[in-house]
Amino acid sequence: MDDMGLTADLTVAELLARWPQTAQVFLRYRMACIGCTMAPFDTLADVTTAYDLRLDLFLSELRRTIAETGPPGAGPEEGWL
């Protein structure tokens, strides 16, 4: 496990719950994982295999997106609307 907890064994649903900003990575690759009924069960290793992607590169892109957008829950301040 890395220091973020982002590993190949993490499910898509767990990833998106913890770091919702990573949805953009799935969309960039035109992956149907967002809203998929298998998201609670499929790991990142599973989906990269299914989409014929390199796991190491996909994890790197997820980590980069998280680093660029901030920690879990980072976003607009409460009451910004």
Residue 19's closest CA among 62, 77, 80?
A: 62
Whether 73 has a pLDDT exceeding 60, the answer reads no
Amino acid at 6: L
CA 20 from centroid of its chain's CA atoms: 7
CA 40 – CA 63 distance, rounded (Å): 20
Q: Give residue-wise pLDDT tens across range 27-56.
A: 999 999 999 999 999 999 999 999 999 999
Q: Give residue-wise pLDDT tens across range 12-32.
A: 999 999 999 999 999 999 999
- 47: tokens are 């989906």
Q: How confident is the model at residue 1 (pLDDT cuts 50, 70, 90)?
A: very low
pTM: 0.81
Rounded average pLDDT over 62-80: 70
Q: Which residues contact 35 (CB under 8 A, 6 or more apart)?
A: none
Q: How confident is the model at residue 80 (pLDDT cuts 50, 70, 90)?
A: very low
Residue 59's closest CA among 40, 45, 38, 73?
A: 45
